[in-house]
């Protein structure tokens, strides 16, 4: 069981991309150590009807995301990306069934780009807005970032994001994650992970700034497409972002 937990905790790190230089925006996703202060549980419920929403259109369907108001830097930035069409035409460059789908690298709009997929960005990062009440449940939308050793402030990529696609978590796995990271989940949060699913081993490490409210079946379709050894779909899945009025 201990070995299984280690595998679970290290998956993001082992499958992440590698940075090519200091100015590129990579999206390495890695877990932190367990020495951080223990966070305080908060209510999970959020009134999604009042939140700003962005639609992601792909060749496999549409995904609608609600953006949280208590992560205003990331909310406003995602709205900016949608309005300015910064990542329109970019692809989901890394998809792992049972884990997540990742995209938002503007350099992937150019099929002849010399920059490896996942190492591009808009030229800026975002201050972290990591909140205890926003967990990595199935459908959570979070910002990718460089690993802690290169990015101790855990600043987010200015454009790259991922959508959690993982399924239910076993109670014994969640208990070990609680012990490893020093997080105490409420009964409501435990039930969410046991039934809805997600990736609790990533909680409190990346900024979760929204969630899918429509189109998780599209996320599942994207996660299951054929891909190469770098988890890049063999056939490009491009995205178009626009505000939902």
- What are 181-196's pLDDT values in tens digits? 999 999 999 999 999 9
- What residue has token string 């178009």? 240
**12 vs 159 pLDDT, higher one:** 159
> d(Cα 187, Cα 156) in Å, to the nearest integer?
30
CATH classification at residue 79: 2.40.100.10
User: What does the pLDDT read at residue 133?
Assistant: 95
Q: Which tokens hold the place of 21? A: 């230089």
Q: What is the rounded average pLDDT for all residues in the chain?
A: 86
E strand intervals along 26-148: 52-58, 61-67, 92-96, 100-103, 125-126, 140-143
> d(Cα 17, Cα 223) in Å, to the nearest integer?
17
Residue 60 within a domain: no
Residue 8 within a domain: yes
Report the share of the chain in percent with pLDDT over 90.
76
Q: What is the pTM of this model?
A: 0.85
Tens-digit pLDDT profile for residues 136-153: 999 999 999 999 999 999
Model confidence at 245, pLDDT cuts 50, 70, 90, reads: confident
Q: CA quadruple 143, 145, 147, 152: dihedral positive or negative?
A: negative
User: What does the pLDDT read at residue 25?
Assistant: 37
Domain count, the chain: 1
Residue 31 within a domain: no
Residue 142 within a domain: yes
Quote the domain boundaries for residue 156: 2-19+65-244
**133 vs 6 pLDDT, higher one:** 133
Residue 97 within a domain: yes
Among 71, 100, 84, smallest CA distance to 212 is for 100
Residue 149 within a domain: yes
> d(Cα 140, Cα 162) in Å, to the nearest integer?
8
Tens-digit pLDDT profile for residues 14-62: 233 433 333 333 444 433 333 333 444 444 556 788 899 999 999 999 9
Residue 29 within a domain: no
Mean pLDDT in residue range 59-66 = 98
Model confidence at 199, pLDDT cuts 50, 70, 90, reads: very high
Mean pLDDT in residue range 231-241 = 97
- What residue has token string 């299984």? 4
Residue 28 within a domain: no
Mean pLDDT in residue range 163-170 = 97
């Amino acid at each position: 069981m201990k070995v299984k937990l280690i595998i679970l905790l290290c998956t993001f790190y082992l499958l992440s991309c590698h940075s090519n230089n200091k100015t590129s925006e990579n999206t390495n996703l890695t877990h932190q150590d367990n020495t951080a202060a223990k966070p305080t549980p908060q209510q999970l419920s959020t009134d999604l009807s009042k939140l700003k929403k962005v639609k992601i259109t792909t060749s496999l369907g549409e995904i609608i995301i609600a953006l949280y108001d208590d992560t205003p830097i990331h909310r406003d930035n995602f709205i900016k990306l949608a309005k300015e069409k910064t990542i329109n035409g970019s692809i989901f460059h890394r998809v792992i069934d049972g884990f997540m789908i990742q995209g938002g690298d503007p350099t992937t709009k150019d099929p002849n780009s010399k920059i490896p997929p996942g190492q591009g960005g808009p030229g800026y990062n975002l201050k972290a807005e990591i909140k205890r009440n926003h967990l990595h449940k199935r459908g959570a939308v979070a910002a990718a970032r460089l690993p802690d050793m290169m990015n101790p402030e855990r600043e987010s990529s200015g454009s790259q994001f991922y959508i959690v696609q993982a399924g239910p978590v076993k109670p014994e796995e969640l208990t070990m994650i609680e012990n490893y990271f020093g997080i105490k989940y409420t009964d409501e949060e435990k039930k969410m992970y046991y039934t809805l699913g997600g990736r609790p081993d990533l909680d409190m490490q990346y900024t979760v700034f929204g969630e899918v409210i429509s189109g998780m079946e599209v996320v599942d379709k994207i996660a299951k497409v054929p891909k190469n050894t770098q988890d890049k779909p063999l056939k490009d899945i491009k995205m178009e972002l626009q505000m939902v009025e």
